[in-house]
Structure 1
Amino acid sequence: MSLLDELWAEGWMPYWEGLFHADGRARDADVEGPGLEVLRLGEPIDLESMLDEDPNGLSGAVVHAEAGLPDGRGRLVGGGGSHGSEGFVACFDTEGAMVWLLHLGESNEFVRITVDWPTATCTNNLDRSITLDLTSPDHSSDRPAPPTTGDPDPAHRARGRSRGGAGRRQGATTDGTWIAELWRDGRTPVHYGLFRADGTARRADCDGPQLTRFRLGEPLGPITLAAAADPAWTRSAEILAEAALPDGTGRLVAGGDTDASDGFFARTDAAGRLVWLVHLPCTELVGVTVEGPRAVFVNDRGGALTIDLTAPEFSDAPGN
């Protein structure tokens, strides 16, 4: 197992900006802020030496996007970290081992990945994108061959395991109970999406506080869903508005979480149990009204989002 794999298994990635490969190669990397105008790869760097000098040089990895590569080449995942300004894209082989990880300190978090082989377009939460050539030596999805002589340094393996404490990604349940349990505890996932109490989940996005172009995307992949179900990656949910459904089947609630840039809205049944929850990068939602089959949610910037409660995604029936 590579050092990158060991860090990832415990929910971590390097804090430093760079393109890090599983075989130990690494290069400095940066972009000109969240506009993502130019991606530059610079001089070689040594991750092991950097971690030896600063064992706390780690950032928590939160997955927001996932896309498969064609012809069994593996998967790409993207997301953000412990600091709101950072983002990452990582490549995994078909067995789930990391091939490379690109970490950028000023890119903002990546929320969508689109693969059109041989390129991948990675889009952040400001709808700005970078394009990676997956056939280049820097971003190839080919896993480096393991060493042919000798065993990996056992001290290296122990050092990687010791950094993250308890394994954050291990043991997360992805059955239908986890989102209901989070809701009962007054928490929401940090991931953006539509999460239903039956265990299904889909990507969800909008164009920030304007609440325009609300989109529901593909089902969340297994890596993203497992991370979303991890209690370590949750935030406190504060309900700021609610409205009863006219047919008496439950209520709609809306609010924000501990990150002021995010908001959520949810439906509960007549007994107060969660039916579904939507988490978006839209700032906190402070108002909700029900107008026939439609609900209107308003955020603290005056943006408004309307949903159709009769749509399959927002019904109270399981399995939609």
Structure 2
Amino acid sequence: MARRPYVTPALFHTVGRHHKSAAGRAAPGACEGYRPDCHDHRDLWAAGEMPYRDGLYRPGDTAVELHVEGPGAYHPDAGQPIPFRLGGPLDVALAVAEDGVAEAYPNFDVCLPDGTGRMTGGGSGMGNVGWLARLGADGSLRWIAPMFSANPFIGVRYEGTSAIFVNDWRNLLTLDLADAHLI
């Protein structure tokens, strides 16, 4: 099977997820900073934000811990795989209360090969935070995975049911999108 090139901002039109007014403020009804009554990550996503703790967050405030060793462990050997391990349950409200939220800056938004949705990803913070999200065909959030030490993700290519993401240091993260946790 021929390998498809990565889709990067230079090759694909970036679709932003920030819902900000012209004045730069969050749209009415969106979360503006942390509020105890506004921890549902779907609300955060609509405001262009995400929890600032490693995790795989799903609608309905369910999440599991996410363990990702940052690419710094491999630098300057770019192109190395990024380990990605899921752990036990994660309390979303506690994660947001303790660590807050971060803005999600998108770098790509690419349709899944089977047409069931899209994968999007990007960065945040001071250059070390990367994130990935799976959206349904209607654009609804299926899951989001912020990773504090993964560095911003800049592209994706597909091979069968696998999505191979690349970050800004050219480190690779391969996920099987048929895995029950990632559907």
Higher relative contact order (CA 8 A, sep 6+): 2
CA distance in 2, matches of 1:271, 1:170: 28
1:259, CA displacement in angstroms? 3.0
Which letter does structure 1 place at the counterpart of 2:180? P
SS of corresponding position for 1:260 = coil
Hey, what does 1:246 align to over in structure 2? 113
Cα-to-partner distance string for 1:63-102 (whole Å, 9 max, x where unaligned): xxxxxxxxxxxxxxxxxxxxxxxxxxxxxxxxxxxxxxxx
Q: Aligned ranges for residues 102-181 of structure 1 at < 5 Å?
A: 171-172=36-37, 178-181=40-43
Report whether the alignment pairs 1:196 with 2:61.
no
| Greater helix proportion | 1
Aligned partner of 2:67 among 205, 212, 217: 205
Aligned partner of 1:235 among 82, 99, 102: 102
Which letter does structure 2 place at the counterpart of 1:180? R
Hey, what does 1:307 align to over in structure 2? 175
SS of corresponding position for 2:104 = strand
1:205, CA displacement in angstroms? 1.7
Aligned partner of 1:290 among 141, 144, 158: 158
CA distance in 2, matches of 1:271, 1:296: 23
Q: Cα 1:170–1:187, aligned 2, differ >3 Å: closer, same or farther? A: closer
Q: Cα 1:186–1:173, aligned 2, differ >3 Å: closer, same or farther? A: closer
CA distance in 2, matches of 1:269, 1:231: 29
From the CA coordinates, give the structure whose radius of gyration is larger: 1
1:231, CA displacement in angstroms? 10
Report whether the alignment pairs 1:186 with 2:51.
no
Hey, what does 2:84 align to over in structure 1? 214
SS of corresponding position for 2:170 = coil
Give 5+ residue unaligned stretches, structure 2.
Answer: 1-32, 75-80
Give 5+ residue unaligned stretches, structure 1.
Answer: 1-167, 316-320
SS of corresponding position for 1:227 = helix
1:172, CA displacement in angstroms? 4.0
Structure 2-normalised TM-score? 0.70
CA distance in 1, matches of 2:109, 2:98: 25
CA distance in 1, matches of 2:37, 2:67: 24
Report whether the alignment pairs 1:260 with 2:122.
no
1:298, CA displacement in angstroms? 0.4
CA distance in 2, matches of 1:218, 1:182: 22
Which letter does structure 2 place at the counterpart of 1:247? D
CA distance in 2, matches of 1:258, 1:286: 15
CA distance in 1, matches of 2:164, 2:97: 30
1:226, CA displacement in angstroms? 1.7
Give the ranges of 4+ consecutive aligned residues of structure 1 lying more than 2 Å apart after TM superposition.
168-174, 210-213, 227-232
SS of corresponding position for 1:180 = helix
CA distance in 1, matches of 2:34, 2:52: 14
State the number of aligned residues.
142
CA distance in 2, matches of 1:258, 1:207: 17
8 Å contact from structure 1 (residues 243, 289) kept in 2? no
Hey, what does 1:226 align to over in structure 2? 93
Hey, what does 1:19 align to over in structure 2? none
Which letter does structure 2 place at the counterpart of 1:239? P
